[in-house]
Structure 1
Amino acid sequence: MSAALSRTMEIRKHVVETNRGVVAAQHRQAAEAGAEALRAGGDAVDAAIACSFVLGVLEPWMSGPAGGGAALHWRADTGRAHALNFGMRAPASLRIEDFPLSGEGLAGDLFPWDRVVEDRNVLGAKAVAVPALVDGLEAAHRRWGRLPWAELVAPAIAAARRGLAIDWYAALIIASATRDLASDADAAALFLTDGQWPRSFSWAADSDDRLDQSRMADSLDILAREGAKALHGGDLGAALARDVRDKGGYLGLDDLAGNRARFETPLAVPYRDALFHVMPGLTAGPTFARAMEGLAGETLSGPDEACPAYARALIAAYRDRLSGMGADGEISAAPGSTTHFSVVDHDGNMVAHTQTLLSLFGARVVSPSTGLLLNNGIMWFDPVQGRPNSLGPDRPCLMNVCPALGHAGGRRFALGAAGGRKIVGAVTQLASFLADFGMDLEAAFAQPRIDVSGTDRIVADDRLPGRICDALKAVAPVTVTRKSILPYPFACPSGVLQEGSKRSGMTEPTSAWGDAVAEQG
């Protein structure tokens, strides 16, 4: 725990309550765009589309049209949950021999893989996987959308025309990746000043320093007019693929045409008197299910006292994940590039949606023709061959995303988080807070949590009593840390909840930009 951090500062947020709809997202202006779609008569799906595209503009280092992810949809009229997978996959022309091991130990980003020569699976165009986010949004819109597609993309276009305002938080995020961004001329032109440092910003309230996102605005305008086909087989996709190949990557137009979103049967997870739905397959959904299965056999007397049980359940779940789905261990000091938002509309429809570029700033490469920051989804693969998640052409990526729907005690909720392998631990504990202890969202999000991102270490919030930390030490070695105005020691969740006619939303209290916004009647 840093000795420099304040011991007296308190950080909190208040839950947002309404009898209509609410959007909880990692950026307030994105949540506002979603809430405006609800006010205009839109479905939760419409709000999700508007929110998603604005997040890609205002959090470009977290997600965007060149990324992927997954979502859970709850339809109140049918009482059914639907899973929508729009994950990334390796390009078909990827060559395994282009990723030789360097023999220099472990890579220095999210996953402790054996290091690859020049970090080609982490940085640069060779690290770019095939995106599917836009197709995922359109697939949901075709099935449930009420408002015109172009109207839902319009707020993102307007935000890109204005350009992202550089406040202290944006400047800090850009500064953290300056060295890598400077290696790509187009990324440097977008984010840096003279290739040396992030764009300047002012503490003055009237500062108007902004990124030039006009090229991205043009691409979003094409998507508004032509839909996902523009990227998945059209001219926009051809331009994106050409840029990636010109920079040494593998992405082809055929890859984009072939990697499309797909609806799947959600994984149903019974838990005591509750029921959860999560993503199946190569996501964190099965890991969540395994953790809840282990937790169901524990006696939980309170949220603090439950921490050792949470640790045991998550360690066992990760043991299964790492042995069967891929040894995707993560270096917890590195922040992931992911965003999550949750939506409930006035009819009770819900969306739990997670989208990502994987690392912060993805591959740290910008497509000059489209203005899009590119993902580094190839880093999800183990570069060592012969393992469950080994790198190979035309293979789906193993994702850490864990959007979830829950029903417990007469209440229904949608949850999820950003934060790489920290995600599933946060979602598991929040699910338990709501189901086991009947907490409201504000109490659940304020409750101290632990993080278990593997099988050998526990990170504990220093607000937990000393006796709880001592009990945790009997499970695994413990590192105690303090939550500050950056949420990186733990995941960054967002959630919505419905109880009768009351709906509420909440975001991670330490997230500077995150907020819940209610639909205005």
Structure 2
Amino acid sequence: MSLNLSRSMQIRKTVIETEHGVVAAQHRLAAVAGAEVLAAGGDAVDAAVATSFVIGVLEPWMSGPAGGGATMLWRADKGRALALNHGMRAPAALDPADYPLSGQGAASDLFPWEHVVDDRNVQGATAIAVPGVVDGLGQAHARFGRMPWAELLSPAIDHAKRGMLVDWFASLVIASCTRQLADDSDAAALFLEDGQWPMISGWTALADKRLDQSRMADSLDQIARHGARTLYDGDLGAAMAADVQAKGGSLSVDDLRAYRAEFHDPLAFDYRDVRFHVVPGLTAGPTFRDAFAGLETVSMGDAPGPDSYAAMADALKTAYARRLEGMGDTGESPQAPGCTTHFSVVDRQGNMVAQTQTLLSIFGSRVVSPSTGFLMNNGIMWFDPVQGRPNSLGPGKRCLMNVCPVIGEQGDRRFAFGASGGRKILGAVAQLSSFVTDFGMDLDRAFHQPRIDVSGDTLIADDSLSTDVLDRLRQNQPVAETRRTIFPYAFACPAGVMRRGNRNSGCTEIMSPWGDAISEDMTKER
């Protein structure tokens, strides 16, 4: 399913520039929630907490409290970056023998692992890993937050009480996964109408049709009142684990109690006159570093052109190859729909947050925990079901993620970037970072600049690139031209903020119908 646009149509996003704090997120109302926190005097971390929980309500197929991810933080008063890994883990009781290979070729979702019987690693309760994002948010808030935790969850609770509005885009996304959602009675009850995707009204008006997220609202209220660890140590976590086990999964109370997100020193490296900070370990951060190592000795020119695009393609392909060999991630279907979400925050003091969070696949495991109202992840799909490999499925193992939040410093400019889109994430974040640092672009130019994607066997190129660029790219690999579309995304879906001096700006993917950047002063106009 794809929405193709006329070649004569141009879509642009307005980039704001202000002395106030800015939140850029894949859903405007989530960005508004974060910006309102900044307007109330909150830190960038406070805004990130509010944004994260709201986007889990309003974009539930991408992320939520039952997901995981990673975060890069910049602390302006200390002049330093910190990495926070809140990725998922395999349950301790998981048995690889419960995921037998079918011998029927490749798996049915994002990664071309060998197919497992009944897609047990892809869909259903057996695909659920230990979630991490709520503990990560709790730890970040305990360390840097200025506003009360409960106050930061209030916007998400309010949105969940009202229920997410099912507009044309929500209907489209739900329709793309109707068959899988119908397999779980609780997911079907939440997202479908009589087993079918929910319809909006006619061409001239939208009915105020909303999901019933009242159970999720109650669970968020418990997290607000009792703190982040109630999802791990309290009755809420116990209920969620019981739901998963009742549906055949192995997530346990002990798994939740043992889980801890972890702060790390970032993987920091220099590129020309730039200092980059990324999340180390089982993320795309090390691969991001490898890509820029491949560009270090290349002359990029004064503006993006045939040679610079070719150099980026070569650097990304080399970095991907190293990742596949050493980290065990064997790729991803370029036809898979986009998943995951990213938002970036900068406050008036210059503190920054770049957070990527995910359920992994679109709608995760397509399983809803009835006691909590949370859509559950399918993090087990990150593992290779074939044993004896670097990323083979096993009990208690950390999941290998494609997320790539980054903080960059260059002169008087600092930026926080990231994206959603599975294995497409790395290429998008690397290119945006190059546009800004190699060619001096602001966010407006960088986010509207055509991109390429080399995460599959065929290079995917924006068909608005010049003939010279396309011809140069074809010298080294097969190239398919495509346009940026609304759904599915041919490229990743980035969001970013930038600070230059005391001026802040923000932008999101230009094709995202919900994405927007909101400054705290804009909330006073509402």
TM over 0.5: yes
Whichever residue aligns with residue 342 of structure 1, its letter is S
Q: Out of 334, 337, 354, which is 1:335 matched to?
A: 337
Relative to structure 1, is the Cα distance of residues 199 and 92 closer, same or farther in structure 2, using a 3 angstrom cutoff?
farther
Whichever residue aligns with residue 464 of structure 1, its letter is L
TM-superposed deviation, 1:205:
4.4
The runs of 5 or more residues in structure 1 that have no matched partner are none
TM-superposed deviation, 1:4:
6.1
**Alpha-carbon contact 2:167-2:206 (below 8 Å) kept:** no
- In the alignment, structure 1 residue 210 sits paired with structure 2 residue 198: no
TM-superposed deviation, 1:260:
1.2
2:390 alignment counterpart: 388
Whichever residue aligns with residue 484 of structure 2, its letter is K
Output aligned runs, 1:49-88, within 5 Å: 49-88=49-88
TM-superposed deviation, 1:188:
0.3
2:100 alignment counterpart: 100
- In the alignment, structure 1 residue 445 sits paired with structure 2 residue 447: yes
Q: Distance in 2 between matches of 1:51 and 1:358?
A: 19
With the length of structure 1 as denominator, give the TM-score of the two structures: 0.98
**Alpha-carbon contact 1:343-1:352 (below 8 Å) kept:** yes
| Stretch of structure 1 that moved more, 303-312 or 181-190 | 303-312
Relative to structure 1, is the Cα distance of residues 170 and 4 closer, same or farther in structure 2, using a 3 angstrom cutoff?
closer
TM-superposed deviation, 1:486:
3.0
1:45 alignment counterpart: 45
**Alpha-carbon contact 2:200-2:206 (below 8 Å) kept:** no
Q: RMSD of the alignment, in Å? A: 1.4
| Stretch of structure 1 that moved more, 215-224 or 228-237 | 228-237
Output aligned runs, 1:247-396, within 5 Å: 247-301=247-301, 302-305=303-306, 306-396=308-398
Does the residue aligned with 2:275 lie in a helix, a strand or coil? strand
1:23 alignment counterpart: 23
1:177 alignment counterpart: 177
1:429 alignment counterpart: 431
Whichever residue aligns with residue 477 of structure 2, its letter is A
Output aligned runs, 1:392-403, within 5 Å: 392-403=394-405
Q: Once the two structures are superposed, what CA deviation does each residue of 1:195-232 show, in whole Å capped at 9, x if it has no partner?
A: 13335455454621000000000000000001112111
Whichever residue aligns with residue 458 of structure 1, its letter is L
**Alpha-carbon contact 1:62-1:356 (below 8 Å) kept:** yes
Relative to structure 1, is the Cα distance of residues 196 and 257 closer, same or farther in structure 2, using a 3 angstrom cutoff?
same
Q: Distance in 1 between matches of 2:418 and 2:178?
A: 29
1:35 alignment counterpart: 35
Q: Distance in 2 between matches of 1:433 and 1:10?
A: 20
- In the alignment, structure 1 residue 241 sits paired with structure 2 residue 246: no
Provide the identity percentage.
65
Relative to structure 1, is the Cα distance of residues 130 and 194 closer, same or farther in structure 2, using a 3 angstrom cutoff?
same
- In the alignment, structure 1 residue 420 sits paired with structure 2 residue 422: yes
TM-superposed deviation, 1:338:
0.3
**Alpha-carbon contact 2:3-2:485 (below 8 Å) kept:** no
Does the residue aligned with 1:143 lie in a helix, a strand or coil? helix
Whichever residue aligns with residue 94 of structure 2, its letter is L
Q: Distance in 1 between matches of 2:460 and 2:78?
A: 41
**Alpha-carbon contact 1:487-1:511 (below 8 Å) kept:** no
**Alpha-carbon contact 2:2-2:485 (below 8 Å) kept:** no
TM-superposed deviation, 1:472:
0.8
TM-superposed deviation, 1:475:
2.2
| Stretch of structure 1 that moved more, 372-381 or 459-468 | 459-468
Does the residue aligned with 1:352 lie in a helix, a strand or coil? strand
**Alpha-carbon contact 2:450-2:464 (below 8 Å) kept:** yes
1:159 alignment counterpart: 159
TM-superposed deviation, 1:416:
0.2
TM-superposed deviation, 1:304:
2.9
Q: Distance in 2 between matches of 1:368 and 1:132?
A: 19
Does the residue aligned with 2:232 lie in a helix, a strand or coil? coil
Output aligned runs, 1:183-198, within 5 Å: 183-198=183-198
Q: Distance in 1 between matches of 2:54 and 2:443?
A: 25
Q: Distance in 1 between matches of 2:3 and 2:168?
A: 23
**Alpha-carbon contact 2:382-2:400 (below 8 Å) kept:** yes
**Alpha-carbon contact 2:499-2:505 (below 8 Å) kept:** yes
1:499 alignment counterpart: 500
**Alpha-carbon contact 1:409-1:438 (below 8 Å) kept:** no
Q: Distance in 2 between matches of 1:201 and 1:171?
A: 11
TM-superposed deviation, 1:382:
0.4
**Alpha-carbon contact 1:280-1:286 (below 8 Å) kept:** yes
Q: Once the two structures are superposed, what CA deviation does each residue of 1:271-310 show, in whole Å capped at 9, x if it has no partner?
A: 0000110000000000000001001121111213311000
1:490 alignment counterpart: 491
Q: Distance in 2 between matches of 1:409 and 1:108?
A: 46
**Alpha-carbon contact 2:167-2:200 (below 8 Å) kept:** no
Q: Distance in 2 between matches of 1:104 and 1:375?
A: 25
1:509 alignment counterpart: 510
Q: Distance in 2 between matches of 1:183 and 1:487?
A: 23
TM-superposed deviation, 1:3:
11
Does the residue aligned with 1:359 lie in a helix, a strand or coil? coil
Q: Distance in 1 between matches of 2:280 and 2:446?
A: 25
Does the residue aligned with 2:339 lie in a helix, a strand or coil? strand
Relative to structure 1, is the Cα distance of residues 206 and 419 closer, same or farther in structure 2, using a 3 angstrom cutoff?
closer
Q: Distance in 1 between matches of 2:200 and 2:520?
A: 35
Q: Distance in 2 between matches of 1:188 and 1:208?
A: 20
Count residues with an aligned counterpart.
520
2:470 alignment counterpart: 469
Does the residue aligned with 2:77 lie in a helix, a strand or coil? coil
Does the residue aligned with 1:358 lie in a helix, a strand or coil? coil
Does the residue aligned with 1:263 lie in a helix, a strand or coil? strand
Q: Distance in 1 between matches of 2:199 and 2:219?
A: 23
2:413 alignment counterpart: 411
**Alpha-carbon contact 1:89-1:397 (below 8 Å) kept:** yes
Output aligned runs, 1:455-466, within 5 Å: 456-466=457-467
With the length of structure 2 as denominator, give the TM-score of the two structures: 0.97
| Stretch of structure 1 that moved more, 76-85 or 406-415 | 406-415
TM-superposed deviation, 1:337:
2.2
Does the residue aligned with 2:465 lie in a helix, a strand or coil? coil
**Alpha-carbon contact 1:333-1:488 (below 8 Å) kept:** no
Relative to structure 1, is the Cα distance of residues 53 and 39 closer, same or farther in structure 2, using a 3 angstrom cutoff?
same
